[in-house]
């Protein structure tokens, strides 16, 4: 744990949990955080072990709360959820990348000049760090598919071919 900070949305946590990769994710040389409101309202009840694994929760400062309000006005009509926009606002506040599994949130992040990565990027980091083998990545993706996770499956297959 430690290293570069990454702000996550709920989708990433759900994908990693569905694939059985949460422990591997938190063994990476990154620090992971979510907005405190997102943790309290969406994650604490169903994923109480996240704090133990190393997930941090950060508060939005006053300026960022205002910015988050602007984001909600700007992107709510696109279907991006408020908690996800809080994660984007926190990544903006902390000047660090956003992890999201939502293509609409990724588009918003790009529009707001915030670096964003998704589940495939995170799995690649886990494999490249030697925390799992490519075969385990395939099993994780199979579990995510079985759980109904919405991933770009053609890109997943391409990634798995690159892994070998």
Ordered domains of the chain (ranges, CATH): 4-118 (3.40.50.1010), 120-163 (no CATH)
What are the pLDDT digits (tens) for 7-54?
A: 999 999 999 999 999 999 999 999 999 999 999 998 888 888 999 999
Distance CA 39, CA 18 (A): 18
pLDDT at residue 124 is higher than 90: yes
Average pLDDT score over residue span 97-120: 97
Q: What is the pLDDT of residue 3?
A: 78
Q: What is the pTM of this model?
A: 0.93
Mean pLDDT within 135-156: 97
Split at pLDDT 50, 70, 90, the class of 2 is low
3-state SS track over 72-141: HHHHHHHCCCHHHHHHHHHHHHHCCCEECCCHHHHHHHHHCCCCEECHHHHHHHHHHCCCCCHHHHHHHH
List the beta bridge partners of residue 30: 4
Report the mean per-residue pLDDT for the chain. 95
Question: What is the token pair recorded at 76?
Answer: 């709510």
Nearest-angstrom CA–CA distance, 59 and 37: 8
């Amino acid at each position: 744990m430690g290293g570069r900070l990454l702000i996550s949305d709920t989708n990433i946590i759900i994908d990693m949990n569905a694939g059985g990769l949460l422990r591997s994710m938190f063994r990476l040389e990154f620090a992971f955080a979510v907005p405190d409101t997102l943790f309290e309202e969406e994650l604490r009840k169903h994923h109480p072990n996240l704090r133990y694994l190393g997930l941090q929760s950060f508060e939005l400062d006053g300026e960022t709360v205002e910015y988050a309000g602007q984001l909600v006005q700007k992107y709510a009509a696109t279907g991006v959820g408020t908690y996800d926009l809080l994660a984007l606002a926190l990544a903006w506040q902390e000047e660090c990348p956003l992890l999201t599994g939502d293509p609409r949130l990724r588009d918003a992040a790009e529009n707001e000049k915030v670096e964003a990565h998704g589940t495939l990027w995170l799995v690649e980091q886990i494999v490249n760090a030697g925390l799992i083998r490519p075969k385990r990545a395939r099993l994780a993706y199979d579990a995510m598919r079985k759980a109904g996770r919405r991933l770009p499956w053609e890109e997943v297959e391409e990634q798995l071919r690159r892994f070998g």
